[in-house]
Amino acid sequence: MLLPDHIAIIMDGNGRWAKQRKHNRFFGHIRGAKVAYSIIEECAKINLKYLTLYAFSTENWKRPKTEVSLLMSLLLKHLAKEQKKLMDNNISFHTIGNTQELPIEVQKLLSETYEVTKNNTGMKLTFALNYGGKQEIINATKEMYKSIEDGKIKASDINQDLFNSYLQSSFLPNPDLIIRTSNEQRLSNFFLWQAAYSEFYFCEKFWPDFDLSDLNNAIDSFNNRSRRFGNIDSKLSDPPSPRVHQ
């Protein structure tokens, strides 16, 4: 089985999972956080190179303050607890998104976890926190504009590779496979630039029910896709044309 290099997951459906069980949304987030860490470990065990988890979008600030606080405190609680597991599994920890707007204690823990794990050579785990694809593109554009003003680059130098190098996520290859749970079929401002040729896998289950078998199903499905990147599939191409007799 061929493994994608980079899997990105939009972990969705915590609230509905809880509602189905007549609990409040918090219950779903608590369970969802646990599931995230077990999937991280599974992905490291199968030697995935890159795993990116969409954990908090720039639009998620619209939620009630109590829910946002709970999400931040879950992040604090689990990340502190899981550092050893990251070390044991040789995982390096990274973030994308505007983390400077997160509570200061979260920022501290994120940079501490990055520092502690940065020399690990196994899976690169990236949490997308206060992340928005549009914001990432705008920030890159501003930075590029600054470089032009400073005379470091010329407008005529701008091409896809250069633009990509200004993105905060430029240390990651584009995601090969994007999984979204809860049967919603949209990006919700995730990896807008990077998803140009990603394969999508939509899973009906809510995130707190996502398990190893669902991960394997997603990878199986990925293996049955034909990625053409605009080209033609050599297997599907026409047979050699018959000789035309004149």
Binding site for ligand IPE (CB under 6 A): 10-16, 54-57, 60, 71, 182, 184, 186, 188, 207
Q: Out of ligand IPE, Mg ion, none, which partner does residue 71 contact, by CB within 5 to 8 A per kind?
A: ligand IPE
**Burial category of 233 from C-beta neighbours within 10 Å (exposed 0-12, middle 13-18, buried 19 and up):** exposed
Q: Which residue's Cβ has the minimum distance to ligand IPE?
A: 15
CB of 195 to ligand IPE, least distance (A): 14
Nearer to Mg ion (CB atom), residue 72 or residue 116:
72
Q: Which of 14, 60, 89, 174 is catalytic?
A: 60
For residues 233 and 205, give the distance between their C-alpha atoms in angstroms, rounded to a whole number.
Answer: 32
Nearer to Mg ion (CB atom), residue 12 or residue 199:
12
Whether 60 sits among the annotated catalytic residues: the reply is yes
Nearer to ligand IPE (CB atom), residue 93 or residue 207:
207
Whether 12 sits among the annotated catalytic residues: the reply is yes
**Burial category of 1 from C-beta neighbours within 10 Å (exposed 0-12, middle 13-18, buried 19 and up):** exposed
Question: What is the token pair recorded at 224?
Answer: 């049955």
For residues 235 and 246, give the distance between their C-alpha atoms in angstroms, rounded to a whole number.
Answer: 30
Question: What is the token pair recorded at 59?
Answer: 């639009």
Q: Out of ligand IPE, Mg ion, none, which partner does residue 109 contact, by CB within 5 to 8 A per kind?
A: none
Pick out residues in 2-61 that bind Mg ion (CB under 5 A): 12
Nearer to ligand IPE (CB atom), residue 36 or residue 144:
36
Cα three-residue angle 132-138-140, rounded to 5 degrees: 105
In sequence order, what are the residues at sequence separation of 6 or more whose Cβ sits closer than 8 angstroms to the Cβ of residue 140? 163, 166, 167, 168
**The tokens 């080209």 sit on which residue?**
231
CB of 60 to ligand IPE, least distance (A): 5
CB of 151 to ligand IPE, least distance (A): 39
For residues 140 and 168, give the distance between their C-alpha atoms in angstroms, rounded to a whole number.
Answer: 7
CB of 125 to ligand IPE, least distance (A): 16
Residues involved in catalysis: 12, 60
| Site of interaction with Mg ion (CB under 5 A) | 12
